[in-house]
Amino acid sequence: MNQKLIGIFLAAIMLMSVGTFFFAGPLSNQSNNGNDASQAPGFETIPGTKMSHELNSLQDGLAITPAGVTIVSYVDYSRVYGTPLQILAPNITDVYSVYNSMIIKRYSAYNTAEDFAFEAHVINPEVINFNYMLAEQPYNGYYMLSRNGQVYNIVGNPMLLGPQESLQQVIDVKSGTLESSGDFERIMPYIEAGAEYQMLTSADRLAGQHYMEFRYTADGNYTRTEVFVEPEQSLLDNITALGANSSERGLAYNVTTHDDANITKVTVTTNASNFYSLALEQFW
């Protein structure tokens, strides 16, 4: 179910491939699955500087991301599981198995053309409940924990996970010696924080940049919002056609066009019982 739904969205396909690289295989095999997280040692057992950065949105993640990324995402699992949004999430066991502690917030950043990828995770409880090898020397004060010789952690809130060179760039951004990403400055004014799912890419075949989110609203409904920079006319034609008969599928369309910036924003709303139709609505 999860793979089928994610397969609908180009941005999500590329994005989840990063997560699969980190979540599958050696990381899970090396974890201490028998350990009780409540009895595990805390972050203080790791020497050096701990990562400290607010992570409540895609915008927060981009603040510690170096320039040049093509796909980024944010998800708040603490607000996803147990709701209709859960059909878009990985199995909760897989999410837990990375640290043997629950990942409650996850940010991912990836470059499709270069060898760069990292994820940032807020975990609860904040414990070291996995096998690792501690680096002999820190990088700019931060010690890296090798998980399998190719993927490393930097401890803190959030935890950082990725290849060593990628994590070094993130540390440089956090330390102020490297610029943070400005790759999506054109689309960001049209994006609001607060959604459970946020995904953004510049690797879309039908638009220069493409943003998608899923959000639970105060009135008990669910919305899916997508923003397109320089969209192809065929995409706009499909949106118009779908909006014309959307009520037959229990969906309500709201399309806003910003001609001066060549940006189109589409928000589709439905109730919780019709969330599956919302997730499957395909603009292209």
pLDDT of res. 77 = 95
d(CA 83, CA 87): 8
Please tell me whether residue 235 adopts helix, strand or coil conformation.
helix
pLDDT of res. 6 = 34
DSSP 186: T
pLDDT tens per residue, range 236-280:
999 999 999 999 999 999 999 999 999 999 999 999 999 999 999
Band (33; pLDDT cuts 50, 70, 90)? very low
CA angle 174, 180, 181 (to 5 degrees): 145
Handedness of CA 220, 76, 110, 63 (dihedral sign): positive
Determine phi and psi for 130, rounding to 5 degrees.
-145, 160
List the chain domain ranges.
2-29+41-175, 213-280
What residue has token string 């923003």?
A: 227
Predicted TM-score (pTM) of this structure: 0.90
Q: β-pairing, 156-157 with 197-201?
A: unpaired
Architecture, CATH, for domain 213-280: 2-Layer Sandwich (3.30)
pLDDT tens per residue, range 163-211:
999 999 999 999 999 999 999 999 999 999 999 999 999 988 899 999 9
- Residue spans of alpha helices (H) in the chain: 2-6, 10-23, 26-30, 58-62, 92-97, 164-175, 233-244, 275-280
pLDDT of res. 3 = 38
